[in-house]
Structure 1
Amino acid sequence: MTLDLGAVWVRLQAMAQGLLTALPGVVVGLVVFLLFLLLARAVRRGVGSLAGRAGQPPGIALVFSRIASGLFLALGLLVALTIAVPSLNAGTLFSALGVGGVAVGFAFKDIFQNLLAGLLILLTRPFRIGDQIVSGDHEGTVEDIQVRATLLRTYDNRQVVIPNSELYTNRVVVNTAYDKRRLSVPVGIGFGDDIGRARAVILDTLRDVPGVLADPAPEVLIRELGDFSVNLDVRFWIDPPLRRETVHVQDQVLGAVTPALLGAGIDLPFPTWQVLWHDQTETTDGDRTRQREGWPARRDNPPSRQQARAEQEARAPQSADGKRQDPEA
């Protein structure tokens, strides 16, 4: 069997000739794309500078510069492809993009949703870079608002990447939206203490605590009558409303109020419970023939402790002076 390699050689020569023919177009296309890449960087800086001069926040300027740069790169890629592949004209390219756009849209639906949500967040500005927010189980400082997600830095120095669509559609608490913030700490006093005096002692102490604002003035309200104490709600304002200030001022308030109340003779009670057996409360509680307070009825009727004590004293022998002796003596 003889192999005819002539056809293979002719095919290889044709492929090499086609590659050599297309090589100049590929090189020119790469050069054009590199030029567009450099121009895209310049466009990015220019758009960012223009947005900054227009008074836009840094986050919006950054996103607009990224979008302009991406669009310019996409245009450069299309021009480079038409130069590298002469048979690929603009009509064919756009028709191919139109056919594949539906598939790309379904495949990248979440990406486009996050992109649109990021633009809306930057335009509506419910929060800005540097704000401290709470989103779901996460709380921290906004470090960056990107096209797809927002970067949140927690107070224990961890980074949380939250999709923009989640931030835009769900509830977000912005702790630093205003220049002042009201805090409150609970304080419990005894039921026998003078509430007015306790309130005066607390308010007088808050005047000397650093970080507590005099305007709006602090206030002390009765929150509830607890099981073992009268619970007061000590409210005060701080500025700035940052997390560090919140923790430090609360620590100073509690550290100052506690000795002040104790020094004024105000009781700070701790939880106490009194446990009574069923036959220790009333003399009739020993009657088990009828159900009482959830206890099951019984046919036998053991006496209560009071009744048993009275029967023991009745059976105890009398002394010479006529007094009954203690049976346990």
Structure 2
Amino acid sequence: MTFDLKEALNVAVSKIEGWLESFAAMVPNMIVAAITFSLFFLLARYSKKFTARLFQKFSNKSALNTLATTIFQFLILAGGLIVVLNILELEKTVTSLLAGAGIIGLALGFAFQDIASNFMSGVAMAIRQPIKVGDIVETNDFMGEVEKIDLRVTTVRTFQGIHVLIPNKEVFQNPLMNYTKTPERRIDLSVGVSYADDLEKVKEVAEKAIRELPFLLPDREVNLFYREFGDSSINFQIMFWIQYPGQTGYLKATSDSIMAIKKAFDNNDITIPFPIRTLDFGIKGGEKLSDMKVNIINKELITS
């Protein structure tokens, strides 16, 4: 079998001519497709302000509005791509792209399920809005002021000045305490008094000291309950309500309350005892050290 160079060249030339003819036939469609996609691109770009204003009429949640605007732009571009492929007579390509997008989306869903979970939690938080920027919250063992909420993480600035980025999934699924949404807070103070003090007098003095504080809510009661017989004191808990003034104000109110009770107890000879330990050297108990017979044991007996 001999190789015919001339015939091979003719085949190659005919193939190239066929491609050129096909390309020439597609040029008008390509120009139309390029113009069409450019129009869709400009439409998506300039529709951002319009859609943002439109969504703001129905929702005041900025994160959710941004998400909706982005999705709307993506849908415009996706629609433009489908139209362009149809102009280029690539209908089969559209079907293949949609099938491939489904498979890729499924694979990405498994690969980035944590990101997707945080994203969906961010969307749910934007809709339900359990917290807002400026709220004082406690979640996932962190307490501070909410500085930023986006669709993936929530930024909390602790009272020590540390910025903590908490995934939205953790904020949404775990217990969350929002102190700002609760305008009233209760302060619980645990105090101990000496066994020698009159408990009725202690109760009267402590409650009076708390009622004289300026930040106390006047329509709330001051409650004092004795709780236990401690090792060195009789312990009680005094509870009262204040208007929540922020965390710094809350700590100051607690501090002022402790100082007020201590001052009132000092003025009324009420003792807050320190821990007391009694050493009993008797085997049966109750025997003083001075009454015990001290036996001096020979050192040789100890070492033997």
Is the TM value for this pair above 0.5?
Answer: yes
Amino acid across the alignment from 2:54 = G
Q: Is the CA contact (8 Å cut-off) linking 1:185 and 1:235 kept in structure 2?
A: yes
Aligned to 2:113: 109
Using structure 2 for the length normalisation, give the TM-score. 0.75
Query: Once superposed, which parts of structure 1, at least 4 consecutive aligned residues long, lie more than 6 Å away?
Result: 21-24
Q: What is the aligned counterpart of 2:292 among 285, 300, 306?
A: 306
- Give the Cα–Cα distance (whole angstroms) in 2 for the partners of residues 77 and 156 of structure 1: 46
- Is 1:76–2:79 an aligned residue pair? no
* Partner residue, 1:164: 168
Question: Is the 1:144–1:152 contact (alpha carbons within 8 Å) kept by the matching residues of 2?
Answer: yes
Q: Is contact 2:191-2:237 (8 Å) kept? A: yes
| CA–CA separation in structure 2 for the residues paired with 1:37 and 1:63 | 19
Matched residue, 1:249:
253
Aligned to 1:184: 188
Residue 155 of structure 2 corresponds to 151
Deviation of the 1:191 alpha carbon:
0.7
Q: How big is each residue's C-alpha offset from its partner over 1:201-243, in whole Å with a ceiling of 9 and x where there is no partner?
A: 1111112212121221212211222111111212110112631
Note if 1:240 corresponds to 2:226.
no
For residue 268 of structure 1, what is the aligned residue in structure 2?
272
Indicate if the aligned counterparts of 1:185 and 1:234 stay in contact, CA closer than 8 A.
yes
Tell me the distance in 2 between the aligned counterparts of 1:245 and 1:269: 29
Residue 36 of structure 1, CA deviation = 0.9
Cα pair 2:64 2:126 within 8 Å, conserved: no
| Distance (whole Å) between structure 2 residues aligned to residue 230 and residue 176 of structure 1 | 35
1:48 corresponds to which residue?
A: 56
Distance 2:279 2:286 in 1: 14
Which position in structure 2 is the counterpart of 1:227? 231
Q: Higher RCO, 1 or 2 (CA under 8 Å, sep at least 6)?
A: 2
RMSD: 3.5
Partner Cα separation in structure 1 for residue 89 and residue 215 of structure 2: 73
Taking the aligned partners of 2:89 and 2:100, their CA distance within structure 1 comes to 14
Contact 2:232–2:273 (CA under 8 A) maintained in structure 1: yes
Distance 1:43 1:173, change over 3 A: same
Match of 2:65 in 1: 65
**Structure 2 SS opposite 1:157:** coil
Contact 1:222 1:232 in 2 (8 A): yes
Structure 1 CA distance, aligned partners of 2:294 and 2:256?
57
Q: Which amino acid aligns with 2:148?
A: D
Is residue 98 from structure 1 mapped to residue 102 from structure 2 by the alignment? yes
* 2:186 alignment partner AA: R
Shift of residue 262 of structure 1? 0.6
**Residue 158 of structure 1: how far off its partner (Å):** 2.3
Gap runs ≥5 in structure 1: 1-6, 53-60, 286-303, 310-329
Q: Deviations over 1:107-136 (max 9, x none)?
A: 232222222223333444444444322212
Deviation at 1:32, TM superposition (A): 3.7
- Contact kept? 1:176, 1:241, Cα under 8 Å: no
Letter of the aligned partner of 1:265 in structure 2? D
Deviation of 1:88 after TM superposition, in Å, equals: 5.3
Measure how far apart 1:87 and its partner are: 5.9
One-letter amino acid matched to 2:48? A
Paired letter, 1:169? Q
Identity rate, percent: 26
Q: Give the CA deviation at 1:23.
A: 8.5
**TM-score (norm. length: structure 1):** 0.70
Tell me how far 1:68 sits from its aligned partner: 1.4
The number of residues matched between the two structures is 271
The aligned counterpart of 2:8 is none
Q: 1:88 to 1:166 in 2, by over 3 A?
A: farther
Structure 2 unaligned segments of length 5 or more: list them.
1-11, 296-304
2:44 is matched with which residue? 36
Separation of aligned partners in 2, 1:96 and 1:149: 30
